Structure 1
Amino acid sequence: MTDERLWQRDKAEFSSGLIASGPLSEQFVELTRLLLAASTPAQVLEQIVAAAYRVVPGADLVSVTLRAPDGTFHTPVDTGKVAVELDAVQYRAGTGPCVDAAAGGSPGHVSSDDLAAEPRWPDFSQAAVRHGFTAILSTVLVPDADPPRLPGALNIYSRGPDVLGPVARDVALLLATHGSLALAGTTAVSRAELEASHLRRAVESRDVIGQAKGILMHRRGLTADEAFDLLRRTSQDLNVKLAELARTLADRHTELDAP
């Protein structure tokens, strides 16, 4: 377990932009490994929320807001029930940093360093202060989303004043970028939908790869393993995803010359 004094020293250096190695840099290395191992958008978001809680200076509570096509908002991932409660206050009011960031059109993030004196969101601000939170930073997820995909937000709550500054915003932006990539191909908003959408894409990819293999086996006289190996090598040579290559072959195989 990392020594607490080392961790605090490293966090202070990180906040000053001086750190080259240490517990926090190790956290980012570990995050990269976990993101590569994650198999669903929900798992990616869980890793990002956990990382934000660990490495964003001042983060005491973290959640993700996703917006549905019908305009409703959801919190599929969080680090505590209070986050769900405070997010819900904003959803009911139709305004708040999470909602404003996820509604689209924000300049990348929405924040407040003093919720006790915040006039923009009275319902949310009062609820947050009652729970001991004085600041919030909501960074946009999927900022360039085109319908039916819609923006969301990575939300970071803090109990300390004036701590969610430039460093926190930069780290949150980095994490939100990873989250945006994970959400780029789905319109799902709940944890179950995020899991299901991945399974649907996995099945679709498997089916189209099977079609492409069948075409190659028939036209080239290849075995199933040989057909898959040809698809894999061609995918690597062309720097195209295997499923995309297979879909192109399945959709346009009639345009190819017969063997």
Structure 2
Amino acid sequence: MAPAPAVQSAGAPPQRPVLAAFPAMVPRQSAPPTEEDAPLGVQVDQLIATHDPDDAYTAYWLIANCEIFNRDHDRMIYDLEEVTQKRNMIPYRGMNDGEKQHDTKLCAGMNERMRVSRFDYLAIAVKAGVSGAAIQMAAEGPFGDHSALKTRPDDPLVKEWKANVLEQLSKEADSGDLSTLNYLWVQTLTGDELIAKDPALAYRYAVAQGFIYGEINGPEALEATMYAPEGQLMKTVVDLSAEQRSAERAAAQRIADNARERHRHAENAARPAAG
């Protein structure tokens, strides 16, 4: 697997999700500043016009990043050099002056219609199974109001939203999507208003990551050893019986098998048709 780029650009999320100590979803960052940047509305319209769910997700992030910047006058930038060169624990940093100037100009064009429409673009990506989209919908909360999970848990609309998001997250985890597995293993370990605490599922999702990374990068890879079924981490943070561990390990292997099959199909689809 190729390493993630040092600084994240639009439409290219890192191929390796951040490890368990920092499970937040990595946003699709705005592209590096250029003098030829089209206005925000034009960029969004061009992305949506392709009818590609991946582009809809990029459009969502363009608007979401601008909302964060307009509110805070800063936002976190995914930059792998924070880890590889500066030895920080997490690959994020604040914006530099050039990035702030870029977003000041770009995000001045955001209006209320765009702000609200981002949820429609996110829903398109979630429905299509775009990696990371369901995680971001979970982070946004029902219709952009995460507090509704706590203040209106019995609201039929909130309950429907919650059921749909949980179903999509479970589906993507079972398919072997690494970002979703990474997110769910931490969330099921701790629990919150959206995702119930479930140590057995946490073990399953963590071990599945280890199996998948072991196939991709070899059995000595960091993730493969960290999430080993009988490794120190799994023994320390998850209290399960031997029978439970055996059952969840088998479920984790099925997830890894699904990931392998999905990868095989993707490779076959990418091969040019025989002439």
Query: Would you say same fold, with TM above 0.5?
Result: no
Relative contact order: is structure 1 or structure 2 higher (C-alpha 8 Å, sep ≥ 6)?
Answer: 1
TM-score by length of 1: 0.25
- The structure carrying a bigger strand percent of its residues is 1
User: Which has the larger Rg?
Assistant: 1
TM-score by length of 2: 0.24
